[in-house]
A and B are shown apart, each in its own frame.
Chain A
Amino acid sequence: MIDCDVHNSWHSAEVLLPYLPPAFREYLQRGELPGPRGSFPHAHRPWLHPEGFMRYDAVPESGAAAGSQYDLLREQLLDRYDVDYAILTGDEAIEASTLANPYYAQALTSAYNDWLVHEWLPADLRLKGSLVVAPQDPHGAAAEIRRLGDHDGIVQVLVSSGSQRPYGDPFFHPIWEAAAEFDLPIAVHLGGQGGLNANPIGCGPTTFFWETHALLCETGMAHLASTIAHGVFERWPNARLILIECGVAWVPPILWRLDEDYRALRKETPWLRRLPSEYARDHVRMTTQPLEQPRSPEALWPALDDIGARDMLMFASDYPHWDFEDPRFLRLPETWREPVLDGNAREVYRLPARDRIAEASR
C-alpha cells in the first residue's frame, strides 16, 4: 500500500535555521512571525480551525507537534497499516506560497527541502519526499527543481492549491518545464489560502472553517481546467498533475463540462488534440482523502467510473491531520482496491514493483 499524503512536521520552524542562507536566517530568528517564536513565516488564511489541525492521539507524549517524530509516525502509520511507501508532503512548508517576498519564500522552501532530505528521508526507505517550491517565483522554483530533482528520495514537486492564478497559466511554465526534465509530477495540495493567494473561493470569502474547507475543491477545479486548456500535457508529454486533498466527486462533472465546451470552442486552444477528459485520464491523478460520503456509499462510483477514475485515484490518509482516513475503513469497489491503494501511485511515482522491494531487503 502507498499513502500519498503524509505530513512530516516540525515542533519549531527553527529546525530550518541551519539550512537557511545567513541573510534569511536572520529573518527567521529576529523577524516578524505570524505566531510565537518558531512559527513558520506565512500569511495566514482568514479561516481559523476551531480545534487545531491534528489528531489528538498523534501528539507525542513529549507534547511535541503531531507528525514531528519519526518513531510515532512509523508506529501509527507505516507499521500499523503495512505501508510500502509514504509520500511526505511536509506541513507548513507549502504555505510559503502566501508570502509576497518571493526570495524569502524560495529560501524557506529550499531550507525545508534540505531538512527533508537530511533529516527525514534517511530515516526509513519507505519515506519518499516532495520537493516544495514557491510558485510565486517560477524561475526560482525551476532552479530548486534542478538543484534537487534527481535525488533518489524525491518523487514529486509540491505547491499549494492556493495560488495567484491557475497553474496551467504560462506564468508557471518554467516550473512545468523543470519538472518534466526530471520526470517529476507536480502535486497541488490543499493550502496556501491567504496572503498573496487572495482567491481561494470563487465568489469571495466564506465565513466558517468547515464551510470553507468543503468548498476548497474549487481551487482543484481551476488548476485541472487550466493545466489542460493551456496544453501543459501537449507541451510536456510526461507532465502529470496530482491533486491532493482537493476532493474527487467533482471531477467527473467538471470533465464533462470541459469536454462539452471544448467541443464548441476548440479554436481557442488549437494546441490541444484530444478531449480534456482524455488528457485527464492519462495525466491527472487525485488522492482520495477526504473521500466524499454520499448517503448511499455506492452512489460515488458510477460517475467516477465514467471518467476512468479507477486508474486515477490514489489512496491518501492525511496523517496526522484531523481528517485522517483509515485505509481499512475505505469503502472501494473490490476491483478498485489494488490500483487505488497501490498500483496507481506506484506507476505515477515510478516506484519499484513490490516483489523488487522484497528482493532488495533479502
Chain B
Amino acid sequence: MRGQRHLVCRASELPPGERRIVRLGGRSIGVFNVGGSFYALHNGCPHKGGALCEGPVCGTTVDASFGYGRHGEIVRCAWHGWEFDIATGVAVADPAVRARTYPVVVEDDHVMVVLPRARKEPDDE
C-alpha cells in the first residue's frame, strides 16, 4: 500500500467497540475497531471542523418506524452531532458529505494507519 505506515497500537489493545484518538504525522486521527475491522477517520468534521471522532459511537434509526440498527457502526461528531459511517466516512443524512478516511493495515498484531507521504519524498518503498 502506497504511503507511510504509522503504528497505532497492538490489535489486542483496541478491542471491538473501542476507539483511540492518536496524533500521526501532525494529524489528529480516530482509529476504530468495528466488529473486528479497523478504520481510521480524520478527527476534524467536514461540517465545521469539530472533533468528529470524539463523539458517541452508536447506532441510529434505520427505518420509518424508529427501528434502531447499525449499532457500533456510526460515530456522531462531538460538536454538532452529524452522524458518519465509520467504515466509509459518509454522512448518514447527506451522502454528499464525507469525512476523510485513511487506510488501516494490520500485520503481526500491529495496527497501522497509512498516511500519504510528504510531497517531496519519492514514491513508495
Contacts and interface: CB of A to CB of B under 8 A. Distances in A.
Interface of A: 231, 234, 259, 262-267, 270-271, 275
Nearest to A278: B94
A275 B64 contact: no
A275 B94 contact: yes
Given A275-B93, A275-B94, A266 B83 contact: yes
Nearest to A265: B81
A250 to B, nearest CB: 23
A234 B63 CA distance: 13
A298 to B, nearest CB: 29
B61 A264 contact: no
Given A263-B82, A270-B61, A270-B66, 12 more contacts: A234-B64, A259-B94, A262-B93, A263-B47, A263-B93, A263-B94, A264-B80, A264-B82, A266-B60, A266-B92, A270-B63, A270-B65
Contacts of A265: 81
Interface centre among B62, B64, B65, B93 (most CB of A within 10 A): B93
25 contacts: A231-B64, A234-B64, A259-B94, A263-B47, A263-B82, A263-B91, A263-B93, A263-B94, A263-B97, A264-B82, A264-B93, A265-B81, A266-B60, A266-B61, A266-B92, A267-B60, A267-B61, A267-B83, A270-B62, A270-B63, A270-B64, A270-B65, A270-B66, A275-B93, A275-B94
Chain A, interface SS category:
helix
Contacts of A267: 60-61, 83
Nearest to B66: A270
Contacts of B63: 270
Nearest to A231: B64
Nearest to B77: A264
Contacts of A270: 61-67
B99 to A, nearest CB: 13
Given A275-B93, A275-B94, A264 B62 contact: no
A229 to B, nearest CB: 13
A263 B64 CA distance: 16
Chain B, interface SS category:
loop
A270 B70 CA distance: 14
A173 to B, nearest CB: 14
Contacts of A271: 64
Contacts of B61: 266-267, 270
Contacts of B91: 263
The 8 A-B residue pairs whose C-beta atoms are closest, nearest first, are A270-B61, A271-B64, A266-B93, A264-B81, A263-B93, A267-B61, A264-B80, A267-B60
A151 B47 CA distance: 49
Contacts of B66: 270
Contacts of A266: 60-61, 83, 92-93
A265 B83 CA distance: 8
Contacts of B81: 264-265
A297 B47 CA distance: 32
Contacts of A263: 47, 82, 91, 93-94, 97
Nearest to A268: B61
B51 to A, nearest CB: 15
B35 to A, nearest CB: 21
A270 B61 CA distance: 6
A231 B66 CA distance: 13
A128 to B, nearest CB: 35
A270 B66 CA distance: 6
A259 B60 CA distance: 18
